[in-house]
Copies of this chain bind each other. A is one copy, B any other.
């Protein structure tokens, strides 16, 4: 009998050399892992540039063995991604890796504009229903009634608005080729989400339009739950508000 390795960190994974780490059970690490998996399976490691926004989700860019702009100014991830994509005349595969706050609060204008332009980039939004980095404040994705440090009585839509549904919102945009929402709270969802990511990257490889994948991601530190409790919360609270699936999958846009 011989022992062979069947699974370790993905090929394009890289141990972070940064003093910044993520909390125990933070699923942003799984988001990074999935990206690496998808990149490895598509064989595009050497040609991919990752742009991450500021936030816990941005730390993911430390964990990939690909060229990366790590933690660009908050919310400007799609703009920086656009800059590099255009500078290199469309050649590299450019991934914008964002937290939900980065993507659809301060970054809403950048995302919408990239979508209007049909910018050939892939946007991954890690949705942990709060601002992880700064200590758990309201995000556009915070659920109604969810307690955060800036909605201490729970999110009241009359004052703080409604949860943002980003892939759904992107569907009518002509420039958007792909929009999906996944989760990593079960092995099945892990695999499904990986397929979404690969499909999204493929749209970019095929030069069709902007592709977008949202991934629900546990934040034990700010949900004030154990990691395993977080998985349940995702299943019972988040997924009903944020249904998983592909919302758009266009072979061409015009």
Interface contact B118-A108, CB-CB below 8 Å: no
- CA distance in complex: A109, B110 (Å): 7
Mark the stretch among A41-49, A64-72, A166-174, A221-229 that contacts chain B: A166-174
- CA distance in complex: A160, B82 (Å): 12
A106-B109, A109-B110, A110-B109 are contacts. A116–B172 as well, Cβ < 8 Å? no
Asked if A161 is at the interface of the complex by the 8 Å CB criterion, the answer is: yes
Nearest 9 A/B pairs, CB to CB: A109-B109, A117-B161, A162-B174, A108-B109, A108-B112, A116-B161, A162-B175, A116-B164, A116-B140
Interface centre among A108, A110, A172 (most CB of B within 10 A): A108
CB-defined interface of A78-96 with B at 8 Å, one 1/0 digit per residue? 0000000000000000000
Asked if A24 is at the interface of the complex by the 8 Å CB criterion, the answer is: no
CB-defined interface of A143-160 with B at 8 Å, one 1/0 digit per residue? 000000000000001101
From B107, B118, B160, contact of A157 by CB (8 A): B118
Given contacts A108-B113, A157-B174, list 7 more A-B pairs with CB under 8 A: A105-B113, A113-B140, A116-B162, A119-B161, A161-B175, A162-B173, A168-B172
What is the number of residues of chain A that contact chain B, defined by CB distance less than 8 Å? Answer: 28
Asked if A248 is at the interface of the complex by the 8 Å CB criterion, the answer is: no
Residue of B nearest to A114 (CB): B161
- CA distance in complex: A76, B109 (Å): 12
- CA distance in complex: A172, B169 (Å): 7
Asked if A165 is at the interface of the complex by the 8 Å CB criterion, the answer is: yes
Residue of B nearest to A161 (CB): B117
- CA distance in complex: A162, B114 (Å): 10
- CA distance in complex: A173, B116 (Å): 18
Interface contact A118-B174, CB-CB below 8 Å: no
Nearest Cβ in chain B — how far from A159, in angstroms?
8
